Amino acid sequence: MEIKLIQIAQLISGSIEGDENCIISAVSKIEEGFVGSITFLANEKYSNFIYSTGASAVIVNSNFKADKPLNASLIRVEDAYTAFAKILNVFNPVRYDEIGISSSAIISPSAIVGKDVFIGNFVTLGSNVTIGETTKVYHNSVIGNDVKIGKNCKIFPNVVIMANSIIGDNCSLYSGVIIGADGFGFAPEKGGNYAKVPQVGNVVIEDNVEIGANTTVDRATIGSTIIRKGVKLDNLIQIAHNCEIGENTVIAAQVGISGSTKIGKNCMIGGQVGIAGHIKIGDNVILYAKTGVIGNIEDGAMHMGAPSFDVKRYKKNYIYYMNLEKFAQRITQLEHEIKDLKRERINFLSLF
């Protein structure tokens, strides 16, 4: 694919400094740029590469100031990272334009399939399933009874959506995702046995949600486990029964969220965070990687550590932690000095 730089600038509402007619045929990292490629600079850590990159053009933030001459043309935009994401779509070799239903698909007579959908090989659609228009359900996926999937969704290979789940519009579920499996509910009995608690609720996923590979969202015991609109979930996340994830919250890989926990909107949760059950996390909260949350967190808080507490306090206390060996040595030294002082005092008093 080849496209003029001026066309790219129009697509991302940017202003050009340099050759607006240069031809762009690929995208590249800024440190690996080559003639004909376009890249971006959004992180100051990579600033030095803009002077040595071989890329023909670089997308930069509007306030970027060059310290020395540049070889590449520039496109100035409000947000270079977001703009480059749009360019990646232009050059994406993967196309999701398939239409049609595979002859090997197993579709219940009561299922309703919208127009311009794609149903791949060996897909199973249960009773009373509804698939919205232009949605793609790729190979080997299983859609249980009474599931509703909105329009323009992508259900990638080997996804399982259990009965009664509801998926909104413009959602992407990547391979290995399981929606609506039983929540982990067992009641202790006499003798040390456990009785399974039936999980009779469902999962509701609102519009514009993306769920990464091998992530699981359990059905509610009663009511619904809810993923609000705009949520982005990474790979290998576990969301337990009756949880609620607020709109536009983003969660990185290997996070575990226990049952009945409510997470607010616009939160950012780092990798391998563990969150206890039956607690409430406010809006605009940031949880750093490996944080362990055992209690409620107020709006706008930034937490770190296990158990978690305010990130500023954590960093201050961590300085002491890193110096514990020195403190221990100093305490031992002071103890010896105190003993010596006591001995000297006793010897002094014995003279009278």
pLDDT band at 347 (very low <50, low <70, confident <90, very high): confident
Range 335-352 burial, b when 16+ CB lie within 10 A, else e? eeeeeeeeeeeeeeeeee
Q: Is the pLDDT of residue 351 over 80?
A: no
What pLDDT shows up at residue 238?
98
Residues 11 and 119 in one domain: no
Residues 134 and 255 in one domain: yes
What pLDDT shows up at residue 176?
98
Residues 157 and 54 in one domain: no
What pLDDT shows up at residue 301?
98
Residue 338's H or E segment, with its range, is helix 324-349
Cα separation, 346 vs 217, in Å, equals 72
pLDDT band at 121 (very low <50, low <70, confident <90, very high): very high
Residue 208's H or E segment, with its range, is none
Residues 85 and 214 in one domain: no
What pLDDT shows up at residue 291?
98
Cα separation, 202 vs 241, in Å, equals 9
The whole-number average pLDDT for the span 87-112 is 93
Is 188 in contact with 169 (CB distance < 8 Å)?
A: no
- Would you state the structure tokens that stand for residue 287, as one six-digit string? 């949880």
* Number of structural domains found in the chain: 3
- Map 243-301 to HEC letters: CEECCCCEECCCCEECCCCEECCCCEECCCCEECCCCEECCCCEECCCCEECCCECCCC
Output phi, psi for 293, to 5 deg.
Answer: -105, 125
Residues 201 and 322 in one domain: no
Is 112 in contact with 94 (CB distance < 8 Å)?
A: no
Residues 131 and 35 in one domain: no
E-strand ranges in 65-143 read 73-77, 100-101, 106-107, 112-113, 118-119, 124-125, 130-131, 136-137, 142-143
The whole-number average pLDDT for the span 2-12 is 96
Range of the domain at 340: 318-352
Q: Is the pLDDT of residue 297 over 80?
A: yes
The whole-number average pLDDT for the span 4-12 is 97
Residue type, 291: T
The whole-number average pLDDT for the span 39-48 is 95
What pLDDT shows up at residue 350?
76
**Shortest CA distance to 86 belongs to which of 15, 16, 38?**
38
Residue 42: Cβ within 10 Å count: 16
**Shortest CA distance to 3 belongs to which of 22, 29, 31, 16?**
22
The whole-number average pLDDT for the span 106-130 is 98
pTM score: 0.87
What pLDDT shows up at residue 186?
94
Residues 68 and 132 in one domain: no
- Which CATH number characterizes residue 70's domain? 3.40.1390.10
Q: Is the pLDDT of residue 135 over 80?
A: yes
How far lies 172's CA from each of 155, 197, 254, 269, 306, in Å? 6, 31, 19, 20, 32
Output phi, psi for 118, to 5 deg.
Answer: -125, 125
- Which CATH number characterizes residue 228's domain? 2.160.10.10
Residues 34 and 131 in one domain: no
How far lies 84's CA from each of 44, 58, 315, in Å? 16, 10, 34
Is 19 in contact with 30 (CB distance < 8 Å)?
A: no
Give 162-216 pLDDT, tens digit per residue: 999 999 999 999 999 999 999 999 999 998 999 999 999 999 999 999 999 999 9
What pLDDT shows up at residue 344?
83
- Residues with active-site annotation: 241
Q: Is the pLDDT of residue 137 over 90?
A: yes
Give 216-271 pLDDT, tens digit per residue: 999 999 999 999 999 999 999 999 999 999 999 999 999 999 999 999 999 999 99
**Shortest CA distance to 199 belongs to which of 188, 187, 183?**
183
